[in-house]
Amino acid sequence: MLKQLLILAVLLSIKVGFSQDIHFIKSYGNTGYDYGRDIKQTPDTGYIATGSSSSFGSANADAFLLKVDSLGNFKWSYNYGGPDSDWGTSVIVTNDSSYAIGGYTNSFGAGGFDFYLVRADENGVPLWEKTYGGSNWDKGDALVQVAADSGFVIVGETYSYGAGGKDMYIVRTDKNGDTLWTKTYGGVNDDWATGVLIDGDSIAVCGGTESYGAGMADGILLKMDMDGNIGWVKIKGQEMEDYFTAIEKFSASYYLSGSRDYNNGIYLADFWIYRIAANGTLEQVDTSISNASHEVEIAHDLTVAQLGNIYFAGQTKSFGYSTIDLLPDAFVGKLLTTYFTAYDYRQNFGEAGTDIAWGIDKCYDEGTVTIGDLAYGSTGGNNMFILKLNKTANFPADSPDYDIFSGINNDITTSVVELSANLKLKIYPNPVSEYLTVEGAETVQSLQIYDISGKCVQQEYDVTNSFYVGNLPAGFYVIKLQVDGEQVSFRMIKH
């Protein structure tokens, strides 16, 4: 199920040059299709990202964790999944400063796609993985940890259960990923969940509904207790396609991003920002942002900074290179808390092809970090990008667009593990049948091999640089080495 791979990093150049607004912007990928979906800052001021990639050597795409430092420099990556398609759509830094990713898989589970939850340590080494769902398609979109018991809530959509079409699907687990309960919400048409947060002893979930409301689709926000009992439901929208994509709490309010269609059935949507009191009793802000656009705008994610200013990331076809090739550009916007109908900041990032920003989060220095996809600038099909903006970022609405083009590919191969600035190991072959070789080390003081359940199945001391694993059953293992005074862990596939 689990394999190791390091990932190619590509520095993006910006035609107009770096300014005080941009801390860094880099892309990451290899010869396949590499997609970034979510990112969080880590306690060491670096960043952890997730998505899906076909560059990892499996037949289709794998979910992954990518760790970079505060300047976007590659530290490590791990991929998770099996022979089919696996996606990480949400990443969190857990309460012990390790990681969890939520998403979906059709490599494992009950059938079709299933919700996919992976728990990993601070180095990306998997601790456990779980699936949830039925015989049809079930796709997880957002993940949150419950502080009170270290469990998780993962939300998305299900075709396996519910009232009809696809329904909102909400799964509550304990700290080991074991199911506590599952709930669906929806009617005879399509309903889906895209965002979740924990608010004290309540769970708030947002998404879209075609079963209820005023139009073809509407944004939906529901609040439930920790046992899954629904307290209240709010449905917001007009006569056409409206839906929420993400939710965040700031002060006593919920902030939601999304997309709203005011264009009489022709899908020409605007960015949508919505704010409501956390108790559901007071609608505070309901605004769409077009800036006189006549094309598709979607805010895929948002975050709220210290003063209540709203930053959102998504896609546009109204600005930048998208007005030339008619394909989306990645977009970052900012609204001041004192007004919600005009830009304080807007900037698109992209050039030829489809470029989309999927996730945004605030940083310790009050800047923001954004993740997305670039259709060009890779040796294969897609690269993911990470963009760090400083707190001072201030591009007015009439500022020039930032056109990005690919730089030089700096290949980081699948066989190199960096232990320190002066020590690199080459470990091969992987997958392995009999002998695994370690190059680049003077001595290997010890090794332990653990199976997927965490049991140590082989242990050796003062070993040579080649060791025999032919007695192990076929499967997936974690190997821990003590090499030249440093420790390293990596995954091994045994044929």
What pLDDT does 339 receive? 59
Instruction: Classify each residue of 146-167 as buried b or exposed e, where b means 16 or more C-beta atoms within 10 Å of its C-beta.
Output: beeeebbbbbbbbbbbbeebbb
- Show the 3-state SS of the chain: CEEECCCEEEECEECCCCCCCEEEEEEEECCCEEEEEEEEECCCCCEEEEEEECCCCCCCCEEEEEEECCCCCEEEEEEECCCCCEEEEEEEECCCCCEEEEEEECCCCCCCCEEEEEEECCCCCEEEEEEECCCCCEEEEEEEECCCCCCEEEEEEECCCCCCCCEEEEEEECCCCCEEEEEEECCCCCEEEEEEEEECCEEEEEEEECCCCCCCEEEEEEEEECCCCEEEEEEECCCCEEEEEEEEEECCEEEEEEEEECCCCCCCEEEEEEEEECCCCCEEEEEEECCCCCCCEEEEEEEECCCCCEEEEEEECCCCCHHHHCCCEEEEEEECCCCCCCCCEEEEECCCCCCEEEEEEECCCCCEEEEEEECCCCCCCEEEEEEEECCCCCCCCCCCCECEECCCEECCCCCEEEEECCEEEEEECCCECCEEEEECCCCEEEEEEEECCCCEEEEEEEECCEEECCCCCCEEEEEEEEECCEEEEEEEEEC
Other residues' Cβ atoms within 10 Å of the Cβ of residue 294: 9
pLDDT the model gives residue 427: 74
What six digits make up the tokens of 395? 């591009």
The dihedral built from the CA positions of residue 453, 457, 460 and 465, taken in this order, carries a sign that is: negative
End-to-end CA distance of the chain: 12
| pLDDT of amino acid 477 | 78
| Sheet of 34-41, strands arranged across | 2-4, 74-80, 62-68, 47-53, 34-41
Distance between CA atoms of 303 and 311, rounded to whole angstroms?
5
State residue 424's pLDDT score: 63
Cα(92)–Cα(174) distance, integer angstroms: 16
Q: How far apart are CA 227 and CA 216, in angstroms?
A: 31
Sheet holding 283-289, edge to edge: 242-250, 253-261, 269-277, 283-289
Return d(Cα 285, Cα 282) in angstroms, integer.
Answer: 9
User: What does each of the 495 residues of the chain score in pLDDT, given as a tens digit?
Assistant: 334 444 444 444 333 334 567 788 887 877 678 899 999 999 999 999 999 988 766 667 889 999 989 988 888 888 888 888 999 999 999 999 999 999 999 999 998 999 999 999 998 888 999 999 999 999 999 999 999 999 999 999 999 999 989 999 999 999 999 999 999 999 999 999 999 999 999 999 999 999 999 878 999 999 999 999 999 999 998 888 899 999 999 999 999 999 988 655 555 788 889 999 999 998 888 877 765 455 788 999 999 987 788 899 999 887 766 677 778 888 888 887 765 655 555 666 666 678 899 999 999 998 999 999 887 554 556 788 898 988 876 655 544 444 443 333 333 223 334 444 455 667 777 668 888 888 777 778 888 888 766 678 998 887 777 889 999 987 767 788 887 777 777 667 777
Both tokens of 356, joined, read 């989309």
Pairing mode of beta strands 283-289, 329-335: unpaired
The pTM (predicted TM-score) of the whole model is 0.79
| Burial classification of residue 84, based on how many CB atoms lie within 10 Å of its CB (0-12 exposed, 13-18 middle, 19 or more buried) | middle
Q: What CA dihedral angle connects 27, 32, 102 and 195, to 10 degrees?
A: 60
CA 351 to chain centre: 23
Check if the beta carbon of residue 32 is closer than 8 Å to that of residue 381: yes
Spatial contact of 9 and 359, defined as CB atoms under 8 Å apart: no
360 and 313 Cβ atoms separated by less than 8 Å: yes
Check: CB of residue 271 under 8 Å from CB of residue 221: no
Closest listed residue to residue 471, CA positions, set 449, 489, 443, 488: 449
Residue 417: per-residue pLDDT: 46
Alpha carbon 338 to its chain's center: 30
Q: Cα–Cα distance between 177 and 353 in angstroms, integer?
A: 39
- Contact status, residue 436 vs residue 426, Cβ threshold 8 Å: no
At residue 217, the pLDDT reads 93
Q: Output the pLDDT for position 348.
A: 66
Task: Tell me whether domains 2-410 and 421-494 share a fold.
Answer: no
Structure tokens at 302: 């948002």
Ordered by start, the domain boundaries in the chain are: 2-410, 421-494
Q: Topology of 2-410 in CATH? A: Methylamine Dehydrogenase; Chain H (2.130.10)
**Has domain 421-494 been given CATH number 2.60.40.3080?**
yes
